[in-house]
């Protein structure tokens, strides 16, 4: 009797701990925004009418190079089936504006780098549900940030609709093709 109750408690406790750990690990990495949400992106051109936006910074040693290289590899190996804008939004507002453009171009000459002022960056991050670090005083190159990649569709004027959120470091061409 004691052994059977002990086994049930152990199984239930293990499942609960596993679920809680999974939630704690996943929550910071998954934005809360849902597809269909509309955001204002005055820095994007209206054509092509689809865009992939990644939030990172020059000097990131962990996530950004993998994400940007993966996007370049997808583009180079068969390309995107439709014209699409690819952009890196700088999350380190204290860096000079030109560095993010140079960083994005170092992966592909057609990739754009966007440097927003801190207010616009925070507003956009909030709209998309991104949990970004406080950037005052600089960001450490060892800082780990979300690898969210946003697929957006132009609606009108400066309005863009969120179609899908991907993990930029795990993105495959097949995942992208299903959503374009």
Verify that 22 and 90 share a domain, yes or no.
no
Verify that 14 and 102 share a domain, yes or no.
no
Verify that 122 and 156 share a domain, yes or no.
yes
Q: Which band of pLDDT confidence, cut at 50, 70 and 90, is reported for residue 1?
A: low
Question: Domain count of the chain?
Answer: 2
Q: Which helix (H) or strand (E) holds 8?
A: helix 2-26
The string of pLDDT tens digits covering residues 93-150 is: 778 889 999 999 999 999 999 999 888 888 888 888 887 766 555 554 455 678 889 9
Neighbours of 10 (CB within 10 A): 10
CA angle 143, 114, 71 (to 5 degrees): 70
- Highest mean pLDDT: which range of 18-22, 61-65, 87-91: 87-91
Verify that 24 and 42 share a domain, yes or no.
no
**Is the pLDDT at 4 greater than 70, yes or no?**
no
Q: Which band of pLDDT confidence, cut at 50, 70 and 90, is reported for residue 173?
A: confident
Verify that 21 and 88 share a domain, yes or no.
no
The string of pLDDT tens digits covering residues 42-77 is: 999 888 999 999 999 898 878 889 999 999 999 988
The DSSP 8-state label assigned to residue 30 in this structure reads S
Pairing of strands 112-114, 148-156: unpaired
- The pTM is what? 0.76
Give whole-number Cα distances, 68 to 15, 47, 137, 172, in Å: 36, 21, 25, 13
Helix (H, G, I), strand (E, B) or coil at 48: coil
Interhelix angle 97-107/64-76, nearest 10 degrees = 40
Verify that 24 and 89 share a domain, yes or no.
no
Encode 100-145 in three state secondary structure. HHHHHHHHCCCCEEECCCHHHHHHHHHHHCCCCCCCCCCCCCCCCC
């Amino acid at each position: 009797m004691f052994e059977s109750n002990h086994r049930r408690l152990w199984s239930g406790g293990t499942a609960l701990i596993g679920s809680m750990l999974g939630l704690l690990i996943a929550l910071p990495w998954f934005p809360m925004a849902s597809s269909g949400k509309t955001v204002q992106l005055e820095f994007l051109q209206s054509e092509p009418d689809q865009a992939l936006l990644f939030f990172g910074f020059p000097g990131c040693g962990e996530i950004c190079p993998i994400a940007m290289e993966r996007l370049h590899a997808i583009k180079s190996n068969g390309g995107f089936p439709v014209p699409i804008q690819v952009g890196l939004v700088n999350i380190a507002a204290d860096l000079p504006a030109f560095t993010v453009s140079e960083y994005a171009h170092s992966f592909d000459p057609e990739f754009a780098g966007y440097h927003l002022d801190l207010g616009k960056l925070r507003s956009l991050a909030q709209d998309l549900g991104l949990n970004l670090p406080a950037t005052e005083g600089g960001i450490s190159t060892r800082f780990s940030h979300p690898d969210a990649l946003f697929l957006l569709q132009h609606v009108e004027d400066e309005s863009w609709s969120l179609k899908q959120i991907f993990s930029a470091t795990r993105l495959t061409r097949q995942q992208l093709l299903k959503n374009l």
